[in-house]
Structure 1
Amino acid sequence: MTHHYQQLSPHVIIMHAEHETDRPILAAIAGERRTLLMDAGNSPAHAELFRRELEWRGVRMPEILALTHWHWDHTFGMEAWNLPVVAHEETGRVLSSLQELDWSDSCLTNLVSDGIISEDSAADIRKEYGSRRDIRINQPDILFRDRIEFDLGGVVCELVHVGGDHSADSCILHVREDQVLFLGDALGPSVYGGPRKYTSAAFLKLLSTAYGYNARWYVESHGIPMSGEEFRSDLAGWEKIARAVEVFGHDRERVVGEMKAFLQSDELPKDLLQGIDYFMAAVEPL
């Protein structure tokens, strides 16, 4: 597996996402006085790769870790960093509920049947950790409710709770001077506890929040960094679906018709058809 790293902006270095075992983007924001780490990684092995890269680049090691949400792929590397952890209060609550688990096969099966994680997550945990799963979950040290700011010296980071379908505790991280907005997985559909779904109103609210930053870089945790223009273009179809669902609700044919007119095409791409299904799944029954 090749590992890709990038100096995204003057203060920001990222480790790109790897999809084989669902490793999200990790970021180090290096100020004059402090370095902040965004997300812990999905395992100590994942964390160690990024640590080595930062050492090799001569970057000051992180002194504080900020979590975007509780999901395993963003938090299970915590132990390897041994840093003070900042997280939303709901992130702390969920991580606390997972602390005593042994992560055996039967434990994973129970978590899936209880809707706490998905089959995909269980499979990725098995792949990332193998059969011996010594997974230790630490409690965050600093919990916040709405937003919290970090002055790292010459660069300020703001961690803001935004919620959404993917996870109620989802937060975004804005690196002010570099105009970089880390979205975590906030714009993803719900993945645990039922079918994948998007609530149109929640999605549009998040999109409006993201666009409001007018960032130079938009970074989703399992994607590749995009310029503001690329990000808006990439999400235009999804925004159109959400707006159509707001108007037509259950009427899937009308929504499909709107999308065909929008794209001036007789066929919709597979990802947008799937997107329509996600939005439809969240429409309240009549």
Structure 2
Amino acid sequence: MTHHYQQLSPHVIIMHAEHETDRPILAAIAGERRTLLMDAGNSPEHAKLFRSELKRRGVRLPEIMALTHWHWDHTFGMQAWGLPAAAHKETARALSSLRGLDWSDGCLLNLISDGIISEESAADIRKEFGDHRDIRITQPDILFQDRIEFDLGGVVCELVHVGGDHSADSCILHVREDRVLFLGDALGPSVYGGPRKYTSAAFLKLLSTAYGYNADWYVESHGVPMSGEEFRSDLAGWEMLARAVERFGHNREQVIREMKAILQLDELPKDLLQGLDYFMAGAEPV
């Protein structure tokens, strides 16, 4: 597999997402005094690849880690870094509940039936770790409630709790001087413990928060970095969809009619129809 890395901005280097085993984007933010790592990776192997690339580039290795949320693909690489980690209190609580598990097939089935992970996550864990799963859950060291700042020397990063449907502990990381906003998976639908769903009000609130940063780069963990203009354009249809659901609630046909009229289309594109399913699953009857 080819691994892709990119110097995104003066202080930010990323390892691009890899979809085969659901590896999210990893980022190193290198200041004059410290380097901060955003997310740990989905396994020690994932972590090792990024560390090797940073060494190859002569970048000061990370001395502190910031977690966007507790999901396995963002945290199961923690054991390989051995760094103090900053995380939301709920991230720490969720990780604590996973300690001491053996991660056998039986264990994965129990986690699925308890709604803690999904079948897709279990399949990806099997692919990433193989049959002998030496998964050691590491507890974060620095816990916060609303926001925490890291002055790395010449560049400040701010980790802000935003919540949302995907995970209640979701945080975003703003690299102030570089105008880069890492969104983690905050804009994703809920994926565990039931059907995939979006709550239109929560989605619109998150979008408004993200736009408020007016960043040069918007980075979702399983996507590709986008300029501010690309990001707004990419999410325009979803924002319209969320607003239509706000107005018409469970009335799916009315939402479709409204969207076709706004977009002047005879048929809605597939991604918006899938989005509509998610919003319908999260809609309150009007």
| 1:109 and 2:109 correspond | yes
The gaps in structure 1 that reach 5 residues or longer are: none
The aligned counterpart of 2:248 is 248
**Residue 120 (1) aligns with residue 120 (2):** yes
Query: Helix, strand or coil: the match of 2:97?
Result: helix
Which secondary structure does the structure 2 equivalent of 1:98 belong to?
coil
For residues 243-269 of structure 1, the C-alpha deviation after alignment (integer angstroms, 9 at most, x for no partner) is 000000111011101111122110111
Counterpart of 2:235, as a letter, is L
Equivalent residue of 1:274, what SS?
helix
For residue 51 of structure 1, what is the aligned residue in structure 2? 51
How many Å separate the matches in 2 of 1:237 and 1:199? 16
Distance 1:242 1:265 in 2: 18
Once structures 1 and 2 are overlaid, which stretch shifts more, 276-285 or 43-52?
A: 276-285
Structure-2 residue corresponding to 1:93: 93
Percent of aligned pairs sharing the same letter = 86
Which amino acid is the alignment partner of residue 152 of structure 1? L
Aligned position for 1:141 = 141
Residue 77 of structure 2 corresponds to residue 77 of structure 1: yes
Name the amino acid aligned to 2:24. Answer: P
| In 2: Cα distance, 1:261 partner to 1:18 partner | 37
1:207-218 matches, within 5 Å, as 207-218=207-218
In 2: Cα distance, 1:130 partner to 1:189 partner? 28
Q: Distance in 1 between matches of 2:94 and 2:32?
A: 34
| Alignment check: 8 A CA contact 2:25 2:222 kept | yes
- How far residue 285 of structure 1 moved from its aligned partner, in angstroms, is 4.7
Q: May I ask how many residue pairs the two structures share in their alignment?
A: 286
Amino acid corresponding to residue 243 of structure 1 in structure 2:
R
Q: Which residue identity lines up with residue 145 of structure 1 in the other structure? A: Q
Q: Deviations over 1:175-199 (max 9, x none)?
A: 0000000000000000000000000
Alignment of 1:116-265 (within 5 A): 116-265=116-265
Which residue matches 1:268? 268
CA distance in 1 between partners of 2:170 and 2:46 (Å): 21
Q: TM-score, normalised by structure 1?
A: 0.99
Work out whether 1:62 is the aligned partner of 2:62. yes
Match for 1:213: what amino acid?
Y
Which amino acid in 1 is paired with 2:168?
A
Distance in 1 between the 2:66 and 2:81 partners?
Answer: 12
Q: Which runs of 5+ in 2 are unaligned?
A: none
TM-score, L = length of structure 2? 0.99
Contact 2:67 2:87 in 1 (8 A): yes
**What is the aligned partner in structure 1 of residue 279 from structure 2?**
279
Paired letter, 1:126: R
Q: Is the contact made by 2:87 and 2:143 (CA closer than 8 Å) also made in structure 1?
A: yes
Mapped partners of 1:154, 1:283: distance in 2: 44
Point out 4+ residue stretches in structure 1 off by more than 4 angstroms.
none
Given residue 22 of structure 2, which amino acid in structure 1 is its aligned partner?
A: D
Q: What is the RMSD of the two structures over their aligned residues, measured on CA atoms?
A: 0.6
Contact 2:249 2:285 survives alignment (8 Å):
no
Q: 1:284 offset after TM fit, Å?
A: 2.5
**For 2:134, what is the secondary structure of its paired residue?**
coil
Q: Counterparts of 2:97 and 2:14 in 1: how far apart (Å)?
A: 30
- Aligned residue in 2 for 1:6: 6
